[in-house]
Structure 1
Amino acid sequence: MPFFFHALAFFCLFCATVLSAALVRRMIRLAIMDHPVHRSAHATPTPKGGGIGVMVAFGLFFPLMQLLTGQPVLSLSCLLTACALVLLCSVSWLDDLYQWPPTIKLAAQTAAACMVVGGGISLSWPTPLAGAILSGLWLIFMTNATNFMDGLNGLIAGCLSCAAVALAFVAPAFGVPELQWPSLLLACCLLGFLPFNFPHARIFMGDVGSQGCGLLAGTAVLYIASHTTQPGGWLLGPALLFPLIYDVVFTLIRRCCAGHPLLRAHRGHLYQILHRSHVPVPVVSALEWCMTLWGGAIASLVVPTANIWASAGGLALLMLPQLAWTAFAVARTRTHPVGRW
């Protein structure tokens, strides 16, 4: 890409960051409050809806970035993914305002997932139909997982920023250079929001941001898996999101084994347990960011070798910090009791 277009693309990244921050400021002044409940990490009412700044800035600058970098804008996959994002963010924002039943949110997530898969971003194995179903379930899972993990200042915005920057850095080596600029754009939009949410929250992202970002993250994972030129390149996306995936899956399994209702709201995620045991919020969030970068580094080291032993070793290295994280949470509950979890 010529230098002029590179410079213009970087200028657009800067503008997207500024626009995201400006819209977040506007949402703070709008003051649609999130009132704390028993499972909240905050103790005082705090504005929500900061994700609108992230999503609007991303949506406005994405077509321009695609044009500047020579990527398609009006392809079926781009158009349907954009429609899916608009639908999901609209329903999520209305849910932030009116607290709709979970069935409405699930219906919107399912419809958005079907749009993305219908646009051609899906797995082709073990069969095209099975791959499409698995892809839809994956998108619904990631949308909810990101929403579940958005309960602590800076955790989700920081993790996804780190994942996006790491993806932009390694995308050419994995045969998906077309993801470089969209990843940088999402990272910049999130960085426009992050100073207002970390270390002290002046505003929360809300469902509109967490679910929108979850859909984008899940879509990127599917795109990598279906377009990578590396034999084991599909591991990159799950490795970058592994801290989020592990916490959600571990919590669901633990609650199932304990006989707790899986659909009832709770505060039993590992990051919530550590916060309730008085580990400072910046420490919890920053360590989650580090584990995200660790996942990217492990995937980059393991994927080129592409054999079963390297994959097993990579999985072990991914699990190592998560197991240490779990052991730390259990140890903290023994010295700083948090009650039933």
Structure 2
Amino acid sequence: MTDRELDAAGITDPALRAAYRHCRALNARHGRTYFLATRLLPVERRPAVHALYGFARWADDIVDSLAPGTGADARVRALTRLQEELEEGLRRGGSEEPVAHALADTARRYDIDHVHFRDFMTAMRSDLTVTAYPTYADLRAYMHGSAAVIGLQMLPVLGTVAPREEAEPYAAALGVAFQLSNFLRDVGEDLDRGRVYLPADLLAGHGVDRELLVRSRATGRPDRRITAALREFAELTRGVYRAAMPGVDLLEAVSRPCIRTAAVLYGGILDAVARDGWAVLHRRSVVSRRRRAVVAADGLLRVAAVRLRTRAQPPARTRALPAAVLATAAVRSAEEVA
């Protein structure tokens, strides 16, 4: 599958192919929802998405996944080295580091503005020192670099049927919606890292502060004030999804099933949290394999419909497959990355 993607994208250099394979492995291992949605894209566009995800994972691992007890200074040095690799790779069009190598190639192929990568790195640096956000406006300022720019990086790969600048606000908003969903799901894990992404004024409106969150996390006891705050944060997040979704129609038709699927799956995190009784301080809520499979099957059917409408020439076996077989394939795909 990887070689087919690389062949379709016209990536022939052995070192560059190895770099893209490395990024694809990162996506498959860490970004299960993202990876599943990516498989709905035209095969030649998938390597670029893997490179963009690999870059984001590379930086995120430095911030969150270094050995316990690693000090801020060591993390700053690691991020500085990463940014140097990034800048050198973008300047030269390649790098000895595989993620930087693939990213530089993707940025060149799709003419992605380098400022988006630099803004992302700025947000990653802030995670080393900023542990709370007084207001939602403060959180949105942070998420420009941590989430909105991910949507902006993706947009040239997805393609648009309108001027790109018309689609950019929607792409940025959807990136923010995805991250807000993750913030809700990961409240407990982030608290263990010393961070609270839920805005302090939203929490305070329900009588919640960091100390109450820590106490509830430690005791395992639910608190109705925390539940009320989480409900409000979820509704805020749903509003961002509603604002972002009209932008899907501005994408090229072949890209829409991927993004709709990703939106449904990430939005499903909110439903999973609610079904679990808003217990995110005590356990992580997940979208079930069955639900992921059903959503993926719908995405595959949408892909097939686009191919028929555009009179594309997919492999004969794919054209002949009935909906039931496509759904079964989606189930298997979901289970592979679950």
TM-score by length of 2: 0.40
| Larger relative contact order, structure 1 or 2 (CA cutoff 8 Å, min sep 6) | 1
Structure exhibiting the larger radius of gyration computed from Cα positions: 2
TM-score by length of 1: 0.40
